[in-house]
Amino acid sequence: MINIAITAGGTSESMDGVREITNISTGSLGWHCLEAVLSKFNTPSVADFHVHYIHTRNAIIKGLAENDKKKVSFIPVTDAESVFQAVDKLTKEVALDYFIHSMAISDFTFSYLVSHVKLAREIEALQHPDGFTAEEVRYLLENPRSRYSTGEKISSDEDILVGLKRTKKVIPLIKKNNPNTFLVGFKLLVNVDETELLHVANELAEKNRCDLVVANEASAIGETNHQAILVKGKKIIARAVGKSEIAKLIIDSMLKN
């Protein structure tokens, strides 16, 4: 049995049950990768296979043929923490042959809301004859006593500060739990040239033991004109335009391995 995992979509970090921190990822490339897997693997020459599709609620999900439905397990997630838990569980329970990690996971999640005025008063209260230290201010900014409590109505009559904290990184889990998995990582940068894009893609590969990295620059993203480079062994091995073509090249590169 060949086991393949794909992540798709963008996470949503809840602030107060009404507001969320989200990103614009539609999960379209992840779905194209699923379609490319089904197309490539559904042949008599390929052994039995199964796809574990981890997706957010805003990710594109299309209809599948009845035979294809049997080959795919859908695993819904919401925020970065739920993705971390889902990937940790899957990689510990299943010996994955391939992992295509295309999901856009938030680097930060909600921590607190606090009034500008109240926070300023807290900082002012730190004053003593010797002044206050940067460490005291840092601790206060991480844990303001006057923060809004969960469920408390937020006043629209005052400006507020939103506190964010870092989320746990998901991609290191994959090789940690499944060292032999062929890992496809993704890197999106803004306003950089190809030299810098290649440099950062190689850094991602080295840090997380990615076997292949799909890298692109934000201005070159679209459904039909999505441009990307595929990086393996510190070199650009392919260029593609269009999400369908990118997905096909990813699967071809995986199978060559």
Question: b/e for 33-64, b at 16 or more Cβ within 10 A?
Answer: bbbbbbebbeeeeeeebebbbbbbebbebeee
Q: First CA to last CA across the chain, in angstroms?
A: 17
Q: Closest Cα partner for 55 from 5, 7, 123, 96?
A: 7
Burial class of residue 250, CB neighbours in 10 A (0-12, 13-18, 19+): buried
Give the number of C-alpha atoms closer than 13 A to the C-alpha of residue 105, restricted to the C-beta side: 24
CATH class of 2-107+168-256: alpha beta
Task: Say if residue 223's pLDDT is above 60.
Answer: no
Q: Give residue 3's pLDDT.
A: 96
Q: Give residue 172's pLDDT.
A: 96
Question: Where do the structural domains in the chain lie, given as residue ranges?
Answer: 2-107+168-256, 110-166
For the chain, give the percent of residues with pLDDT over 90. Answer: 65
**199-222 residue pLDDT tens:** 999 999 999 999 999 998 776 665
CA dist 140 and 142 (Å) reads 5
Phi, psi at residue 137, to the nearest 5°?
A: -65, -45
**Average confidence (pLDDT) over 124-142:** 85
Q: Encoding tokens for residue 231?
A: 């990086």
Q: Give residue 194's pLDDT.
A: 82
Q: Encoding tokens for residue 92?
A: 């510990």
Determine if the pTM surpasses 0.85. Answer: yes
Give the number of C-alpha atoms closer than 13 A to the C-alpha of residue 162, restricted to the C-beta side: 11
Q: Confidence class of residue 20 from pLDDT cuts 50, 70 and 90?
A: confident
- At 95 the three-state DSSP class reads coil
CA dist 32 and 249 (Å) reads 11
Q: Give residue 221's pLDDT.
A: 66
